[in-house]
Amino acid sequence: MTRSPVRRSLILFAREPSREARAKGFSASGAVDLFASFATGWLDAAERAGARLVVAAPAEDLAAWRRRLPSDRGISFIAQRGRSFGERVEESARRIASEGDSAVLVGGDVPPSARAVGRAFDALDREAGAVLAPAPDGGVSLIAIRAEDLDLLRRLTAGSTGVFATLADGLEERGRTVELVDIAPDVDSRRDLRRLLRAGVVFAARSLARCALALPSSRDGHRPSPRSLLLAGPSGLRAPPAFA
């Protein structure tokens, strides 16, 4: 009997773009298009890899995402669930894995890379134990691990700079082979975005990035209240910050 091909799913963890921009210190009017373009880029990357895009976001953000992304390209939406950073990562990954999918997870604040997505899915097809994209600060910008190892995601802690080491060590203890892929560092602040531009990192939204930096920081004027920041929640795959 011929084995049916495994469906590929690219899971994008992200707040809706205006909340993402404000949380990272940008003027929402300046950076909203930047973060929206990241999501569209990940959608394109998913399709090039023969995958569907699954947007995992806080429940209150899903309506905004549905309005912003095209309705005719097979995008799925799920609400994040869990009390901690690690629980939210694990639970969302388990939901997709329970459907029998091969899954790759990325953060909404990471410039999209079709090459990295394709390499990650191909590695999983070759029975690699895991695929990770390490971030310069010790975090991780892309994660792909098998269903039997999803409990390792529960160990991840928001605010830690040792996310990559935690995952890599856990996988090594279980004898898993880990493949690494290169990806642009995530954008957690205006400083990070400036560094990307200065370093000559090539990504499709460079013009939008310059526009975002040309406008005043959201922290130069009205500063969000501690309560609004708490309700907004963290985002990204690198930790810090945590997922949305």
Measured between alpha carbons, how far is 212 from 26 in angstroms, rounded to an integer? 7
CATH of the domain at 213: 3.90.550.10
- How many structural domains is the chain composed of? 1
Range of the domain at 60: 8-232
Residue 202: what pLDDT? 67
Residue 241, preceding peptide bond in cis (omega within 30° of 0):
yes
Does 2 map to a domain? no
Residue 200: what pLDDT? 77
Residue 224: what pLDDT? 42
Does 31 map to a domain? yes
Residue 142: what pLDDT? 95
Q: How far is CA 193 from CA 26, 92, 96, 211, in A?
A: 10, 28, 31, 11
Does 240 map to a domain? no
Q: Give the number of residues written for the chain.
A: 244
Alpha helical stretches, state H, the chain: 17-23, 28-48, 62-68, 85-97, 114-125, 163-173, 190-198, 206-214, 226-232
Query: Tens of pLDDT along the chain (244 residues)?
Result: 444 567 999 999 889 999 999 888 887 677 899 999 999 999 999 999 999 999 999 999 999 999 999 999 999 999 999 999 889 989 999 999 999 889 999 989 999 999 999 999 999 999 899 999 998 888 889 999 999 999 999 988 766 788 899 999 999 999 999 999 988 888 888 898 998 888 877 677 888 898 888 877 655 444 444 333 333 344 456 543 344 4
Residue 221: what pLDDT? 45
Does 132 map to a domain? yes
Does 1 map to a domain? no
Does 241 map to a domain? no
Residue 240: what pLDDT? 38
Single pTM value for the model: 0.86
Measured between alpha carbons, how far is 40 from 35 in angstroms, rounded to an integer? 9
Does 137 map to a domain? yes
Residue 135: what pLDDT? 85
